[in-house]
Amino acid sequence: MSAARLDGAPVAAAIRATVREHVARLSELEVTAGVAVVLATDNESTAWYVRAIEREAGLLGIDCMVHDLGQATTGRIAQRIEELNRNPLVHGIILQTPLPDGVEAADLVGLISPAKDIDGANPLSLGRLSVGLPAFAPATARSVMEILEHYRVPLTGQHVTVVGRSAVVGKPLAQLLLGKDATVTTCHSRSANLASYTRRSAVTIVAVGRAGLLTGRHVTPESVVIDVGTTVDGQGNLIGDVDAASVGSTARALTPVPGGVGSVTTALLMLHTSEAALSGSCVSPAGAREGELMAGQW
């Protein structure tokens, strides 16, 4: 392996330090930041992720309220989201998928107040990002940006290829990258000759969910590769979209899986929650980061 390893741990640590500053400022205002997680599934990997959010919140002094609605209907989940929108103790709302059969996330995410939409699920948030207005980006997309910034990967004027065009990762990432003056190509399942794009890119970000999609032939010794994908193999191991052996021996830098993008996401959800709490308390967070919401901006 010759590629430099872009670990998520130091990035998450830096984000946690900012969250602790926010929490201290909130405490002076006698405010405790609160995040609500709404779930309606007994899916084991969702349960694992929700426990990770609870742990992260506990570590940082943020209240985490889990609303487990069981096999709820669209109406019941919608009602809970509306209640949480009105609850002043809740600054961030996460609607966890998967949802019960017959319940479409698309019918619900638009109900989350944009000011509390800390995982950028409401289409309004993506729309605002697209036109350069403040909005919370989906945590995974922003995690990628935080990793690139932490490791000082140049983006201005650079060609970046994003593989994957979902509303939660690929599309918001493309917008965030455009906001950093990168020249962005988005590839997807119908894109012909993926390597012709990735080999011409300074940075390649893969968010597909297909193990081993990106191999050594897709990269050059100058490539920086960010692996967002997560798949569980037959032995229960978490693996990414990148063939770590061939890409690792060719590329300049690569994020590991696990230990890369995924290890930053929960810290970022807490950063968004503390930012939302500060905005709601009419205080602009110190060292405001791009995309951050300020009081009265909605």
Name the residues that contact ligand NAP, by CB under 6 A. Answer: 140, 163-166, 168-170, 187-191, 207-210, 213, 228-231, 261-262, 265
| Gap between the Cα atoms of 64 and 238, Å rounded | 26
Q: How far is the CB of 83 from ligand NAP (least distance, A)?
A: 27
Q: How far is the CB of 28 from ligand NAP (least distance, A)?
A: 32
Q: How far is the CB of 150 from ligand NAP (least distance, A)?
A: 16
Q: Is the Cβ of residue 153 or residue 288 nearer to ligand NAP in the bound state?
A: 153
Q: Is the Cβ of residue 58 or residue 98 nearer to ligand NAP in the bound state?
A: 98
Q: How many CB atoms lie within 10 A of CB 132?
A: 12
| Gap between the Cα atoms of 264 and 78, Å rounded | 29
User: Under DSSP, is residue 172 helix (H, G, I), strand (E, B) or coil?
Assistant: helix
Q: Is the Cβ of residue 76 or residue 210 nearer to ligand NAP in the bound state?
A: 210
CA-nearest of 54, 116, 117 to 87 is: 116
Q: Is the Cβ of residue 43 or residue 191 nearer to ligand NAP in the bound state?
A: 191
Cα–Cα distances in angstroms (integers) from residue 30 to residues 136, 226, 277, 285, 296, in the given order: 24, 39, 11, 16, 20
Q: How far is the CB of 229 from ligand NAP (least distance, A)?
A: 4
Q: How far is the CB of 88 from ligand NAP (least distance, A)?
A: 29
Q: Is the Cβ of residue 20 or residue 210 nearer to ligand NAP in the bound state?
A: 210
Length of the chain: 298
Q: How far is the CB of 295 from ligand NAP (least distance, A)?
A: 29
| Gap between the Cα atoms of 256 and 8, Å rounded | 8
Q: Is the Cβ of residue 144 or residue 276 nearer to ligand NAP in the bound state?
A: 144
Q: Give 46-101 as a 3 state SS string.
A: HHHHHHHHHHHHHHHCCEEEEEECCCCCHHHHHHHHHHHHHCCCCCEEEECCCCCC
CB distance 195 to 223 below 8 Å? no
